[in-house]
Amino acid sequence: MISGKCKGKKLQAVPGMSTRPTTDKVKEAIFNIIGPYFSEGVGLDLFGGSGGLGIEALSRGLDKVIFVDHDPKAVQTIRKNVEACRLTEQAEVYRNDAERALKAIIKRGLTFRLIFLDPPYKSTKLASIIAMIDDYQLLRHDGYIVAEHSEETILPEQIGRLQKIKSETYGITTVSIYGYVDDEKGE
Q: What is the pLDDT of residues 30-63, one digit of tens each?
A: 999 898 889 999 999 999 999 999 999 999 999 9
Query: Which CATH architecture group holds 4-13+23-185?
Result: 3-Layer(aba) Sandwich (3.40)
- Alpha carbon separation from 65 to 3, 48, 119, 187 (Å, rounded): 17, 10, 17, 29
Question: Which pLDDT score, from 0 to 100, does residue 13 have?
Answer: 81
Question: Which pLDDT score, from 0 to 100, does residue 2 have?
Answer: 54
Q: Which of 122 and 67 is assigned the larger pLDDT?
A: 67
* Domain range annotation of the chain: 4-13+23-185
pTM (2 d.p.):
0.90
Mean pLDDT of the region 134-138: 96
Alpha-helical regions (H) of the chain: 24-34, 52-59, 72-84, 98-108, 126-135
Instruction: Tell me: pLDDT of 8 over 80.
Output: no
Question: Which pLDDT score, from 0 to 100, does residue 18 have?
Answer: 60
